[in-house]
Amino acid sequence: MVRAGNSTAPQQVAPLLASATKLLRVGRPAEAIAPLRDAALLEPFNPTIQHDLGLACLEVGRIPDAIAALQRAVTVNPRYSDAYFRLGIALEKQGDIGGAIVAYDRATQLLPSLTEAWFRAGALVYELGHRNEAIGCFRRAAATGGKTSFGRLAKARAFLAEDRNQEAEQVLRQTLALDPRNAMAHDLLGNLLSEFGRFDEARECFEYAIAIAPLLAGSYYDLVRCRPVTSDDDGLLQRMEAALATPGLEAAQRHRLHLAIGKAADDLGDYALAMRHFDAADTVRRGSASFDSAAFSIEIDRLIARCTPELIARAAELGSCDATPVLILGMPRSGTTLVEQIVSMHPEVGAGDELHFWNERGAAWHRSGAAGNETGFLARAAADYLSVLRAIGPTAARVTDKMPFNFLWAGLIHLTFPRAIIIHCRRAAVDTALSIHQTHFHPSLAFPTGGAELVAYFRSYQRLVDHWRSVLPADRFIEVDYEDLTREPEPVIRRIIAACGLAWHPACLRPESNPRAVRTPCKWQTRQPIYRTSVARWKRYEPWLGPLRALVDNASEPRASIARL
């Protein structure tokens, strides 16, 4: 709480701080900002006043002001752990994930018992794909938090990150037995249950979470994806629309809520309403995540220029002879999850889900820009990647990695593992873009979800995969079209399994029976037999496509997958 420091004008500052303290105590932080700001002007080098001003701004959603005040606090007092912690929260709300992690790290260095800072840092680094670092943060949060709710949640998150799902479920249920109104525990349990196809239980958890904590309205996004919304879901659409008016609803929650309303309206056949909310979600996301299409196009040019036919032809000389990796890549929402479910039904295959390895290693390789000294880099990458794959499937003949954005690194992957199979998943451009527009992507991901930027991204992607098609061996770069796969599954699935160098196994025809967790947005769809209702979905939205209409011409583009297989 506010208190005067060594003031040069104590008679002026003291009543301002007294007023602010009174307002904060009765839960009126918005009104406390003015006296705190005046006090900070009188005592600009008082870190406590700056901290309390930042905290008041944070509580009412004035994030830029909060960041400015908290940065002044830690500049004046670099050992102010609470100020670093709140600065981390403010930066996280602004979408500056890297800055938030740095602030949480500094806070925990200064005060290792800051359980929530460990927890928040763990959640962020997990989103960025740093699994081991996330587990370490959650373990520290569990240790410092003990039997508190945050300590138990951290223990559950650590178990989840380690794929110890039964233990995570047990901890979450114990937490809820002790604290039935713990909304975060309900939400975590709902996500765990939905990943394993226990959708009715999951919906109940999400409903509890939202009822307890209306500011978690973004959980409607997960709720509506547990199954299609029908006319029997009395009032659900209206409740979600009303939730948009929840005071203090953060942008991240608002973004997911718009997507949830759009999905429900789509299920109910109101495509005009659906598109209004999908567009609104994209507008919210643009407020915290920008994308430079021109810069991305330049980087694609650099990748193409570096991965010449002459360099790719040296793969057998430069790379590892290990054939374990199966890379399943393409644009998001192009069928990568379905293909991994199919391949990982084979008893000799381990499923890696979406690994961030090549996004990190590829970025380092791309920054280096130096061709000619590839051997050492490739050898280290091969050893490190095989270590990751062996942890996933110690005895598996093949291990999948379905990170879609590995399409950027197909050339590097082939140089590292010339015997690896790269499966490029394709789907009609406009259907893919429309599905992206309807899906939540974390703001830390540099990726557009709508408008002309998404069209430009798609054009750059097509240009790059055209290059891969021209330089990579046809028996290593396999192309699978979603439309072919859903029209006649068995012939395509047989070709996929054969391309992976595996004997045929009939279980691959039943991907909906795959017992593994599904962590992508299509959890419900993945548990259904292969269907075709997502083919040509764009036609339902034709009047409202906007800039995405530019991709309609690609909806009937010629397919070359059979020849490539």
Q: What are the extents of the domains in the chain?
A: 1-111, 317-441+480-564
- Provide the 3-class DSSP secondary structure of residue 313: coil
Give Cβ neighbours of residue 26 (< 8 Å, ≥ 6 apart).
Answer: none
Distance, CA of 281 to CA of 265 (rounded, Å):
14
Distance, CA of 156 to CA of 169 (rounded, Å):
7
* pTM passes above 0.95: no
Closest by Cα among 178, 510, 167, 200 to 338: 510
**What pLDDT is recorded for position 7?**
45
Say if CB 237 and CB 261 are below 8 A apart. Answer: yes
Task: Look up tokens 């690194």; give the residue.
Answer: 409
Identify the architecture of domain 1-111 in CATH: Alpha Horseshoe (1.25)
| The token pair that represents 95 in the structure block | 């979408």
Distance, CA of 104 to CA of 83 (rounded, Å):
10
Say if CB 555 and CB 431 are below 8 A apart. Answer: yes
- Provide the 3-class DSSP secondary structure of residue 328: strand
Task: Look up tokens 């403010």; give the residue.
Answer: 90
Which residue stretches of 307-373 are H helix?
309-312, 315-318, 336-343, 357-368
What is the number of other CB atoms lying within 10 angstroms of the CB of residue 1?
A: 10
> 299: exposed, middle or buried (C-beta count within 10 Å: 0-12, 13-18, 19+)?
middle
Distance, CA of 492 to CA of 481 (rounded, Å):
9
Distance, CA of 494 to CA of 498 (rounded, Å):
6
Identify the architecture of domain 317-441+480-564 in CATH: 3-Layer(aba) Sandwich (3.40)
**What pLDDT is recorded for position 564?**
41
CA dihedral angle for residue 448, residue 449, residue 453, residue 456, rounded to 10 degrees = 90
DSSP 8-state symbol, 530: P
Helix or strand run (H / E) with residue 49: helix 47-59
Query: Rounded to 5 degrees, what are φ and ψ at 82?
Result: -65, -35
**What pLDDT is recorded for position 331?**
98
Say if CB 556 and CB 481 are below 8 A apart. Answer: no
Number of H helices, E strands in the chain: 29, 5
Closest by Cα among 330, 382, 340 to 361: 382
- The pairs formed by 146-153 with CB atoms below 8 angstroms and a separation of 24 or more are 148/115, 149/175, 149/178, 149/179, 149/182, 149/184, 149/185, 150/115, 150/116, 150/119, 151/115, 152/178, 152/185, 153/119, 153/182, 153/184, 153/185, 153/188
CA atoms within 13 A on the CB side of 405: 18
398-401/477-481 β-pairing: unpaired
**What pLDDT is recorded for position 561?**
41
**What pLDDT is recorded for position 290?**
84
Which residue stretches of 369-450 are H helix?
374-392, 410-416, 429-437
The one-digit pLDDT tens for each residue of the chain (565 residues) are 544 444 456 778 989 999 999 998 998 999 999 999 999 999 999 999 999 999 999 999 899 999 999 999 999 999 999 999 999 999 998 888 899 999 999 999 999 999 999 999 999 999 888 899 999 999 999 999 999 989 999 999 999 999 999 999 999 999 999 999 999 999 999 999 999 999 999 999 999 999 999 999 999 999 999 999 999 998 999 999 999 999 889 889 999 999 999 999 999 999 999 999 999 999 999 987 789 999 999 999 999 999 999 999 999 999 999 999 999 999 999 999 999 999 999 999 999 999 999 999 999 999 987 655 688 999 999 999 999 999 999 999 999 999 999 999 999 999 999 999 999 999 999 999 999 999 999 877 889 999 999 999 999 999 999 999 999 999 999 999 999 999 999 999 999 999 999 999 999 999 999 999 998 888 989 999 998 888 999 999 999 999 999 999 765 444 444 334 4
Which string of b and e fits 403-442 if b means at least 16 CB within 10 Å?
A: bbbbbbbbbbbbbbbbbbbbbbbbbbbbbbbbbbbbbbbe
